[in-house]
Structure 1
Amino acid sequence: MTNLNKEQDRGQWGSKLGFILAAAGSAVGLGNLWKFPYVAGKNGGGAFVLVYIIILFLVGFTLMLAEITLGRHTQVSAIGAYRKIRKKWAWVGALGVLAGFLILSFYSVVGGWVLSYLFKALTGALHVTDAEVLGNMFGGLISSTGTPIIFHAIFMVLNLIIVFGGISGGIEKASKIMMPALFVMIILLALRSVTLPGASEGLKFLFVPDFSVITPTVILDALGQVFFSLSLGMGCMITYGSYLSKDTDIIQSAIAIPVLDTAVALLAGIATLPAVFAFGFEPAAGPGLMFVTLPAVFSQMPLGGLFAVIFFLLVLFAALTSSISLLEVCVAYVVDEWKWKRAKATITMTIIIFLVGIPASLSFGVWEHIKIIGERGFFDTYDFIASNVLLPLGGLLLCIFVGWIWGTDRAVKEATNDGQREFSLASVWVFLIKYLGPLAIGAVFIRSIMAAF
């Protein structure tokens, strides 16, 4: 089979913009819209944002460029990429595929909750001002048996439809629609939030840093948020990079993706925290901010029903742009390693991931009493293994592999298209990937393991 036929089988991005939007979409997900506002709220607002932005460019850009470069150089998915350069390292790619598989199995359960809340917003069921009532509503949803599994299935079918269409015809086409729509919706919500009476306190909290609250915990939380928000360590960017043509400027892409991801995270903070302050709610409300606190906020603002619909549609789009990249990691593995056709690989992996996700859904209800690791049920166990073990370990090993095994000279040569493109910060990037990256990610890894027990 010729290289051309192989490329046609695997697919390629139709344009550089399509790749950037799809890759940014992979990074933009529930971590931006759900986690970033409440983690920022918990860690002092502006101080956390400042530390987050600094770490984003030191660590986020470093690993982003490493993954995309490795994928583009090898033109295969995560396992094959490591194997192609050093056969004994193929297991590192397998960690990424396993992480993507596990994350999607519980991420799609949360995606189902978002779908359910979108329907509730459309029918006016969320027009409740009492946070306690909304808390009971959310608890009732996730602890029931049938409803969350049905929405989990619908969410996986949406992923199946998009990924089934291939790279340019499915993922790229969907990302070109969802990402601009996502930006329009989040800007609308941000504009509405900042025009509420009392919103200025929320903006001050978010953007005026109080340096006295910066602690090692704040720094490590920011580092962890950057790492997990950018979809690093799970093979997504290696896989997406493998569909790039050799003339693509991947340095610009590796800068644009974190910038877009951070823009969404900051806009999410602007869309939520000023509104939370305006109506006297707690900014550090935790995970319940999206499903309990914000519906209560929307219920108290003019045209709140409309903004609730826009918000949950926005969250659905963000969840989908991330989840399709996770499914693609698994599909690309089967296509590349098992030589399956894309259609068979996509349908099979969707069904398996859906089935593995069912225990995660039931772990809040009828299987609540089943504990796997410590006091963790299925959902929390999947999350712990993927987020606390596989992702940071995958990122740490990526730094070691690119910095010391493949070699930074070869990586820079690939990133600059054999020296045809300018990379003035090459020496800085080499230092970051070889030294600072492993130390920073190692700190996150050790802390996450220690905090979990």
Structure 2
Amino acid sequence: MSRANWGSKLGFILAAAGSAVGLGAIWKFPYIAGKNGGGAFLIAYLVCVFTLGVGMLLAEMLIGRAARKSATTAYRELKNKAWAWAGRLSVLCVFIILSYYSVVGGWTIAYILRSISGEAITADTAALKSAFGTFIADPLDAILYCAAFFGITMAIVLGGVQAGIERMSKILMPALFFLMLVLIARALTLPGAMEGVAYFLTPDWSKVDATMLLDAMGLAIFSLSIGGGMIIAYGSYLSPDTKLVGATVWVSVLATLACLLAGLMVLPAVFAFDVDPAAGPGLTFITMPAIFAKMPFGQLFAVAFFCLLLFAALTSSVSILEPIVAFLMDEFGWERKPAAIAITLGAFVLSIPAALSFGVLEKTLIFGKTPFDLMDYIASNVLMPAGGLLAAIFVGWAIWPRVRQELQAEGAAAVLPALRIVCGFIAPLVLGYIWIHGL
């Protein structure tokens, strides 16, 4: 079976950035930054992204392109069959992520419809908060909208690398950034908005502690899609003449820019409407409709925003589904269509308890967490750091001669010392600590 390829370097960069520029940026970053005091967290996050993050992103791209296979097969073919377990771990990780991530993806579909009807357009944040809580607690709505999101994700992956993933990314990513800029411009004109900007950008060093640093590192890993095999799978579709270092920098910059824009879009509005900045993922579904209610043509902007929020969620969910599909194709010779359908159905079944975690199963706690929170914790705090740790050791030690050869061939030998330090020493120590702490 011939290997698919990206149609262009731009297509790969936008698709890989789309893996990061999803709900991890727009939904998760503002409320985690708010919870950790704003500016101090932002600095910690940027340091994590442009040291460990960039190095690990390059490492995973190298694994994928060197083997031209998805994670499990790549680890085996580049080293030996024992390393294949690192790839299987990443497959388990993204399967869990896809299951609970699609729940929130379903919320975006619902809010498109609510914006069209005008139901979600009001400046009354108390009413918006109540309506959001009622919606996510409804078991039928939660499951149906989640199923719809799964269906769209599967349809895109069925289209293949160029016709499905790349074509979608080239259109939706620029549109998302443009609309974010428009919404930021409007949010900054709200009374009290500058207080939110100051909160976001001014460091409060009293907030710096081990928990905050772990949150920053965890979000850097999550937002760059490190440790889940997504970047390895995307890297496997790269042509040998693609300059990996440049692509890595571009992906990191776009992912970070999306997080910064999301913070500037949401947090000023949080302060303008006197909402708790650590209110959780509902910030996006409570504060943004309140902004639209104050805007000329607000309903039109609301529909567009939630459509593009859906698109951002899809660019990530597609990158989450693709490595599992590639796993079945590379390891067992499956065709793309049955692989995508089988994985989607399996993940949907696992998503049901996650979807019910805000209503029927709200008080059903496992290790003190709802099913949704437990899945998020296992994937984000345990499996992704473990996957990143193994990828770092693999690149920094197990296949270092091959890594040196790959980067020398593209004229990037100058980055080898820094990459060896990151993958050989810093990443194993940091990710090992995060992994142990997560356990």
CA RMSD of aligned residues (A): 1.8
1:22 aligns with 2:15: yes
Q: Report the counterpart of residue 3 of structure 1 in structure 2.
A: none
* Structure 1 position 200, deviation (Å): 2.2
Match of 2:308 among 310, 314, 321: 314
Query: For residues 44-87 of structure 1, what are the alpha-carbon distances to aligned partners after superposition, in whole Å with 9 as ceiling and x for unaligned?
Result: 21221112111111111011000000000011111001111221
Q: Report the counterpart of residue 250 of structure 2 in structure 1.
A: 256
Q: Report the counterpart of residue 413 of structure 1 in structure 2.
A: 405
In the alignment, is the contact (CA less than 8 A) between 1:55 and 1:226 conserved in 2? yes
In the alignment, is the contact (CA less than 8 A) between 1:108 and 1:323 conserved in 2? yes
* Structure 1 position 311, deviation (Å): 2.7
Structure 2 letter corresponding to 1:255: V
Match of 2:163 among 140, 155, 169: 169
Structure 1 letter corresponding to 2:403: A
Aligned partners of 2:164 and 2:230: how far apart in 1?
A: 16
Report the more deviating stretch, 96-105 or 205-214: 205-214
* Structure 1 position 25, deviation (Å): 0.3
Aligned partners of 1:271 and 1:405: how far apart in 2?
A: 43
Report the more deviating stretch, 374-383 or 334-343: 374-383
Match of 1:219 among 213, 216, 228: 213
Q: Report the counterpart of residue 352 of structure 1 in structure 2.
A: 346
Match of 1:380 among 364, 370, 373: 373
Match of 1:63 among 56, 76, 79: 56
Q: Report the counterpart of residue 427 of structure 2 in structure 1.
A: 437
Aligned partners of 2:157 and 2:33: how far apart in 1?
A: 33
Q: Report the counterpart of residue 150 of structure 1 in structure 2.
A: 144
* Structure 1 position 368, deviation (Å): 4.0
SS at match of 2:350: helix
* Structure 1 position 289, deviation (Å): 1.2
Within a 5 Å distance, the mapping from 1:34-73 to structure 2 comes to 34-73=27-66
* Structure 1 position 290, deviation (Å): 1.6
In the alignment, is the contact (CA less than 8 A) between 2:269 and 2:287 conserved in 1? no
Structure 2 letter corresponding to 1:406: I
Structure 1 letter corresponding to 2:277: P
Structure 2 letter corresponding to 1:20: I
Query: For residues 187-207 of structure 1, what are the alpha-carbon distances to aligned partners after superposition, in whole Å with 9 as ceiling and x for unaligned?
Result: 111111123333222222222
Structure 1 letter corresponding to 2:199: F
Q: Report the counterpart of residue 186 of structure 2 in structure 1.
A: 192
Aligned partners of 1:412 and 1:254: how far apart in 2?
A: 17
Match of 2:259 among 256, 262, 265: 265
Unaligned runs of 5+ in 1: 1-5
Unaligned runs of 5+ in 2: none
* Structure 1 position 171, deviation (Å): 0.5
Query: For residues 202-221 of structure 1, what are the alpha-carbon distances to aligned partners after superposition, in whole Å with 9 as ceiling and x for unaligned?
Result: 22222232344333332222
Within a 5 Å distance, the mapping from 1:93-242 to structure 2 comes to 93-242=87-236
* Structure 1 position 178, deviation (Å): 1.1
SS at match of 2:173: helix
Q: Provide TM-score, normalisation by structure 1.
A: 0.92
Q: Report the counterpart of residue 83 of structure 1 in structure 2.
A: 76
* Structure 1 position 442, deviation (Å): 2.0
SS at match of 1:425: helix
Aligned partners of 2:404 and 2:434: how far apart in 1?
A: 26
Q: Provide TM-score, normalisation by structure 2.
A: 0.95
Query: For residues 207-236 of structure 1, what are the alpha-carbon distances to aligned partners after superposition, in whole Å with 9 as ceiling and x for unaligned?
Result: 232344333332222111101111110000
* Structure 1 position 298, deviation (Å): 3.5
Report the more deviating stretch, 360-369 or 250-259: 360-369
* Structure 1 position 441, deviation (Å): 1.3
Q: Report the counterpart of residue 412 of structure 2 in structure 1.
A: 422
Q: Report the counterpart of residue 6 of structure 2 in structure 1.
A: 13
